[in-house]
Amino acid sequence: MKTRISTILLSLMLMVTMSATAQHRNCGAMNHYQIMLQNDPEMAQRMAQQEIEIQQWIENRVQSKTEDEVIRIPVVVHVLYKTNIQNISDAQVYSQIEALNRDYNKLNADTVNVPSIYKNLVAKVGIEFCMAQQDPDGNWTNGITRTSTNKSTFELGSDQAKYNNTGGHDAWDATKYFNVWVVPGISESGMTGILGYAQFPGGNLATDGVVIDYHYFGTTGTATYPYDEGRTLTHETGHWLNLYHIWGDDYGSCSGSDNVSDTPNQGDENYDCPNHPQVSCSNNGDLFMNYMDYTSDICMAMFTEGQKARMLAVMNGTRASIKNSGRCLPNALSLVKTQNQIKIFPNPAAHQIQVEWLQLNTSSSIEIQLSDLSGRLLISQSLRNQSQTQLDVSRLAQGMYLITWKQGAQVHHEKVLIQH
Ligand SMILES: [Zn+2]
């Protein structure tokens, strides 16, 4: 029988002999959960009550047959870095948000790899993620905080990443935001090699969210094969929305359950990229292509309809306040920063950006330009005797752009993030 310890030792041996790029997936969510239960004995009772509510909500959903609403979750990414390379780019953060939106909305092309007997289980979860556009004080933000730290690894048990006074960054109000901490490394009792860990709903709000190693975050920059498709956060977000591992976390027996009705019973986790069918527990093949198994990013492709129902139940139960927090505006533009001379305001309803400036000299014209980050000019306006204008950005793709304000020798640049 395979045990938890042997799994960890195997991961460690692989790390030592084959370097971090070839290590097996190792998620710390269940160990974190066990530590939370030890520190907060009443959590078990709250989780049991939450489970009853989830099952009731799912039952009502089946009976009422109402159409599911699209749920939007505002994300704040706290980047903790010791070295410059760990201070990952905005683009890498946005690539991770795109990956979440791809996987939670069945926009991933690799669902074609799902075996035909399981194709009818593949779900479009219908949850959209956005970078938070307002911080807890109501100021416009790009949803990223950056903190220099002297720590190379952050301890899972004490949640060091989540507090200013332990080298991390305090959570933003977890009733309004999904907090994600990107860290140089994660350790547990001195051991490293954990890709990420999530906190299940129902726990301490000060530590609510996901911690993830910067090697396994996003699809560009420092993201490292075979975990460079952004699916470590897809997996951890599943835990944050109360999904358990697909094999039921019993390690080596068929008695564990993920509390999801349509996932086949599965004996153990799968690694790397196995061939279908991997039969265990007399099933028709493990659902190893599920995001809640331990396979490589390129071999995961789906949540099931049952997992979707469970996640929607949480977003309409314990986490309902997040979807109503107003920090994730639909069809929104978000402001990245404002300088003294020019101000940029999003006008989401009109798909416009409003640009205002303190005009010093009314006699010469002002040029307002919007270009992409490669310098390609997309919008250009020449204005005189005006102190504001609107830029129609409805036809621009989501992403970062540059706004340039020029008058004579004076030039100001501002980056803006456009999200539709
Ligand atoms: Zn996990």
What DSSP assignment string belongs to 99-139? HHHHHHTT--GGGGGS-GGGGGGB----EEEEE-SB-TTS-
Distance (Å, whole) CA 14 – CA 17: 5
Q: Is residue 343 part of a domain?
A: yes
- Whether the predicted model's global pTM rises above the 0.85 cut: no
Pairing state of beta strands 178-183 and 186-188?
unpaired
Number of domains in the chain: 2
Q: What is the pLDDT of residues 126-178, one digit of tens each?
A: 998 988 877 898 777 788 999 999 999 999 999 999 999 999 999 999 999 99
Distance (Å, whole) CA 71 – CA 122: 19
Token digits of residue 332: 């929104």
Q: What is the pLDDT of residues 312-369, one digit of tens each?
A: 999 999 999 998 787 765 434 444 334 445 677 777 677 888 887 765 566 678 889 9
Task: Note down the domain range covering 379.
Answer: 333-418
Rounded to the nearest angstrom, the distance between the alpha carbon of 201 and the centre of ligand 1 is 14
**Residue 304 DSSP one-character state:** B
Rounded to the nearest angstrom, the distance between the alpha carbon of 102 and the centre of ligand 1 is 19
Closest CA to 72 of 391, 348, 379: 348
CATH number of the domain that residue 359 is part of:
2.60.40.3080
CA distances from 3 to 7, 220, 236, 278, 294 (A): 6, 35, 22, 19, 15
User: Is 58:65 a contact under the CB 8 Å cutoff?
Assistant: no
| Shared-domain flag, residues 140 and 279 | yes
| Shared-domain flag, residues 141 and 63 | yes
Catalytic residues: 236
| Shared-domain flag, residues 175 and 222 | yes
The total number of residues written for the chain in this structure:
420
Q: Is residue 328 part of a domain?
A: no
Q: Is residue 118 part of a domain?
A: yes
Q: Is residue 387 part of a domain?
A: yes
> Which element (helix H / strand E) includes 216?
none
Distance (Å, whole) CA 132 – CA 335: 11
Rounded to the nearest angstrom, the distance between the alpha carbon of 239 and the centre of ligand 1 is 7
Distance (Å, whole) CA 301 – CA 216: 17
Rounded to the nearest angstrom, the distance between the alpha carbon of 28 and the centre of ligand 1 is 6
Distance (Å, whole) CA 126 – CA 404: 36
pLDDT value at position 338? 43
pLDDT value at position 162? 98
Rounded to the nearest angstrom, the distance between the alpha carbon of 303 and the centre of ligand 1 is 14
pLDDT value at position 331? 38
